[in-house]
């Protein structure tokens, strides 16, 4: 039996979504416990962490300026940018001091609990640099401690991580429930690293990569564990108690920008509807939680219809959100899905121009199907989200205008607008010239590994990423992103609110727009008192079974 400490530090929790429980850690814990290992989860995505990382005096000083900037459609003035730079520098210095203290507390926990290994979930930006700092602090105190890493950043950047730090004895990529068991055996001397599928490690300064195993059967995965004595952050109102469920993994599509096939393969694997509803019932019975989000990035419409039928057959009182894919969605299913408790659905649209969709995104969807699907979902009373990427490869002023007009025609409830990001292993990154990108892959990987989002600034004022699209610099094309979102807002279309936030807003008793605006302000200025009150109110409704009020 091994003692296993699982740690997640993603930096400052800058959206309400950052405060929801980590289903990945809970699933790893379930896998370990099923094999009689002892587990503890330390998850810093909490209200308390927000309080630590954003000093009260800075919150009070920043609020008037933040309200002014968020309420304006104009770019910041030079004076405002100067003030933001000062606030940003103060905030970074404060957070570095707090990170050192967090590291000292983690050292104390390891000394007290004496785990056989520590497994870090590695995020991007401050999550990457912060995690590396914590791991190196542990290594300095405990030279013989087994320290492993997994998570989104290791799945994307893989061996590049070793160019920045050699603190991790092994790096897992892809799905982790089996890998974590093998690493537990390694930590207790029962298995060699070279025999563990799905890891990368250093041997005499040489990077070794062991091919990963076949994708896991989702019906055989152990039950995720959220017990407070194992996952202490679940106690009280540190987390927004919405549970994420693994309905599918893998993706058969080859969207130019997407990492999902890299993380879990091209073969779509789904859990059975009965098992998924079993999980929901178990979460209701054990934890009193009735709010869920399904995690699959290309969830088949058929699966969600069958889940809805199972929920109704059992008369289970729940609310949930899910992802959808226009290629597999069936508009005739939305009424039954809504009756079962589907509150919101997230579709990746990316462009309103068929030509751009086909050339740049390659989703295999057509605009007529998109329109029928969005209209049917809205008519069923489902909060409908369609994401956009602006600009896309090959976009022109005319095609962007076409996208705008298409959104104004179908009028989704929310349209998150993103700039075109490059990530390792995606088609855009594998063949950048083919899609109009100009990038030095090696330089990009070095910069992208720990690229920090500047919380206080619009994207056009972040440090420029080292690539161009359609001849435009980072600053230029992110300016188009901001402009497109502003044009939608000017025509009454809500932007920047994902499906889970719509459900949180419902439980907070706030309109989607009100919640979006307030949450932006709270997170931007570190208004932890307001955030804490919101989390407490949402959790009271979740646990009191008062979430089923009319939408």
Domain contains 458: no
Question: Tokens 């009271």 correspond to what residue?
Answer: 540
CATH number at residue 484: 3.20.20.70
* 40 belongs to a structural domain: yes
Cα–Cα distance list, 116 to 30, 102, 110, 146, 229 (Å): 17, 20, 10, 7, 19
Statement to judge: residues 267 and 147 lie in one domain: no
Report how far residue 551's alpha carbon sits from residue 544's, in angstroms, rounded to the nearest whole number: 17
- In terms of domains, do 48 and 147 share one? yes
* Dist CA 269 CA 249 (whole Å): 5
Question: Are 60 and 195 within one domain?
Answer: yes
pLDDT of residue 262: 76
Tell whether the torsion through CA atoms of 324, 328, 334 and 340 is positive or negative: negative
Same structural domain, 157 and 202: yes
Distance between alpha carbon 267 and the CA centroid of its chain, in Å? 21
The answer to whether residue 146 sits within a structural domain is yes
Same domain, 297 and 372: yes
Write the DSSP assignment of 410-467 as a string of letters: H--SBB-EE-----TTSHHHHSGGGGTEEE-HHHHHHHHTTPPP-TTS-GGGSPPPSE
58 and 196 fall within a common domain: yes
Predicted local distance difference test score (pLDDT) of residue 550: 38
Q: Domain tally for the chain?
A: 2
Decide if 405 is inside a domain.
yes
Indicate if 310 and 372 belong to the same structural domain. yes
If asked whether residues 32 and 99 sit together in one domain, one would say yes
pTM: 0.94
How would you write the pLDDT of the chain (551 residues) with one tens digit per residue?
A: 999 999 999 999 989 999 999 999 999 999 999 999 999 999 999 999 999 999 999 999 998 888 888 877 778 888 988 998 899 899 999 999 999 999 999 999 999 999 999 999 999 989 999 999 999 999 999 999 999 999 989 999 999 999 999 999 999 997 899 999 999 999 999 999 999 999 999 999 999 999 998 888 999 999 999 999 999 999 999 999 999 999 999 888 878 888 877 777 778 899 999 999 999 999 999 999 999 999 988 788 999 999 999 999 999 999 999 999 999 999 999 999 999 999 999 999 999 999 999 999 988 889 999 999 999 999 999 999 999 999 999 999 999 999 999 999 999 999 999 999 998 989 999 999 999 999 998 899 888 888 887 777 777 788 889 999 999 999 999 999 999 999 999 999 999 999 999 999 999 999 999 999 999 999 999 999 999 999 999 999 998 865 554 33
Task: Mark 105-124 as b/e (b = at least 16 C-beta within 10 Å).
Answer: ebbebbeeeebbbbbbbbbb
Domain-embedded: residue 387: yes
Domain that holds residue 40: 3-70+84-209
Please indicate, yes or no, if residue 277 is contained in any of the structural domains: yes
Q: Are residues 270 and 411 in the same domain?
A: yes
Would 79 be classed as within a structural domain?
A: no
Do 35 and 181 fall into the same domain? yes
The predicted pLDDT at position 466 comes to 93
Same-domain check for residues 106 and 46: yes
**Residue 279 sits in the same domain as residue 200:** no
Residue 311 lies in a domain: yes
Which CATH number belongs to the domain containing residue 144 in this structure? 3.40.50
Task: Return the structure tokens found at 537.
Answer: 């109110």
């Amino acid at each position: 039996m091994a003692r296993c400490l699982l740690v997640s530090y993603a930096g400052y929790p800058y959206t309400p979504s950052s405060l929801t429980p980590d289903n990945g850690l809970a699933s790893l814990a379930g896998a370990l416990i099923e094999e009689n290992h002892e587990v503890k989860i330390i998850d810093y995505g909490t209200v308390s962490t927000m309080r630590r990382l954003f000093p009260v005096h800075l919150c009070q000083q920043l609020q008037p300026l933040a309200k002014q900037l968020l309420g304006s459609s104009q770019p910041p003035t030079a004076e405002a940018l100067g003030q933001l730079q000062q606030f940003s520098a103060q905030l970074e210095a404060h957070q570095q001091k707090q990170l050192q203290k967090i590291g000292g507390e983690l050292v104390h926990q390891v000394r007290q609990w004496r785990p056989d290994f520590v497994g870090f979930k590695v995020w991007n930006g401050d999550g990457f640099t912060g995690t590396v700092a914590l791991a190196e602090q542990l290594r300095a105190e405990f030279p013989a401690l087994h320290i492993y890493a997994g998570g989104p950043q290791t799945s994307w950047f893989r061996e590049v991580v070793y160019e920045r730090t050699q603190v991790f004895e092994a790096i897992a990529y892809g799905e982790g429930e089996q890998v974590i068991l093998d690493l537990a055996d390694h930590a207790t001397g029962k298995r060699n690293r070279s025999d563990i599928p799905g890891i990368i490690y250093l041997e005499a300064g040489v990077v070794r990569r062991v091919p990963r195993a076949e994708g896991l059967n989702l019906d055989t995965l152990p039950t995720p564990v959220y017990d407070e004595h194992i996952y202490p952050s679940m106690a009280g109102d540190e987390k927004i108690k919405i549970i994420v469920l693994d309905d599918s993994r893998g993706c058969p599509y080859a969207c130019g920008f997407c990492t999902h096939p890299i993380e879990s393969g091209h073969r779509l694997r789904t859990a059975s509807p009965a098992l998924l509803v079993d999980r929901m019932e178990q979460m209701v019975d054990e934890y009193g939680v009735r709010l869920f989000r399904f995690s699959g990035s290309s969830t088949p419409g058929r699966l969600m219809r069958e889940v809805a039928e199972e929920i109704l057959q059992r008369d289970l009182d729940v609310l949930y959100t899910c992802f959808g894919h226009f290629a597999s969605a069936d508009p005739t299913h939305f009424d039954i899905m809504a009756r079962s408790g589907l509150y919101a659905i997230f579709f990746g649209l990316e462009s309103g121009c068929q030509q751009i969709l086909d050339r740049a995104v390659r989703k295999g969807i057509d605009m007529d199907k998109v329109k029928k699907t969005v209209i049917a979902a809205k008519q069923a009373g489902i909060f409908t989200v369609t994401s956009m990427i602006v600009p896309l490869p090959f976009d022109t002023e005319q095609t962007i205008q076409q996208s705008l007009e298409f959104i104004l025609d179908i009028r989704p409830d929310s349209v998150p607008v993103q700039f075109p990001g490059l990530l390792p292993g995606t088609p855009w990154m594998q063949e950048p010239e083919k899609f109009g990108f100009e990038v030095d892959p090696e330089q990009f990987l070095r910069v992208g590994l720990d690229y920090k989002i500047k919380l206080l600034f619009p994207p056009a004022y972040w440090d420029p990423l080292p690539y161009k699209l359609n001849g435009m610099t980072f600053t230029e094309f992110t300016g188009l992103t901001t402009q497109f979102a502003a044009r939608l807002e000017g025509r009454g279309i809500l932007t920047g609110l994902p499906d889970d936030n719509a459900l949180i807003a419902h439980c907070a008793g706030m309109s989607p727009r009100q919640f979006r605006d307030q949450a932006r302000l709270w997170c931007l200025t570190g208004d932890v008192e307001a955030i804490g009150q919101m989390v407490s109110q949402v959790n009271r409704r979740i646990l009191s079974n008062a979430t089923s009020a009319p939408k």
